[in-house]
Amino acid sequence: MSKAAIFGCAGPTLSADEAAFFRRADPWGFILFGRNIETPDEVRALVRDLRETVGRPDAPVLVDQEGGRVARLRPPHWRRYPPVRAFAELAARDLESGCEMAWLGARLIAHDLHGLGISVDCAPVLDVPAPGAHDIIGDRAYGETAAMVALLGRAAADGLLAGGIAPVIKHIPGHGRAGADSHEALPVVRAPLAELEAVDFAAFAELADMPIAMTAHVVFAAIDPDRPATLSRRVIAQAVRGTISFKGLLVSDDLSMRALTGGLGERAALAQAAGCDVVLHCNGDPREMADVAEAAGALEGEAAARAAAALARVAQPPESFDQETSARRFDAAFETGFASA
Query: Could you give the CA distance from residue 137 to residue 147 in angstroms, rounded to a whole number?
Result: 17
Q: How many whole angstroms from its chain centre is CA 51?
A: 20
Q: How many whole angstroms from its chain centre is CA 193?
A: 25
Spot the catalytic one: 94, 183, 209, 331: 183
Residue closest to 146 by CA, chosen among 102, 90, 85, 205? 205
Handedness of CA 139, 123, 157, 74 (dihedral sign): positive
Query: Could you give the CA distance from residue 112 to residue 126 in angstroms, rounded to a whole number?
Result: 22
Is 183 one of the annotated active-site residues of the chain? yes
* SS3 label, residue 21: helix
Instruction: Name the residue type at position 301.
Output: G
Spot the catalytic one: 253, 254, 277, 291: 253
Element (DSSP H or E) covering residue 189: strand 188-189
Element (DSSP H or E) covering residue 109: helix 95-114
Query: Could you give the CA distance from residue 247 to residue 266 in angstroms, rounded to a whole number?
Result: 26
Residue 264: how many other CB atoms lie within 10 Å: 23
Instruction: Tell me whether strands 70-71 and 65-67 are parallel, antiparallel or unpaired.
Output: antiparallel
Residue 61 is given by DSSP the state: E
Q: Catalytic positions, please?
A: 183, 253
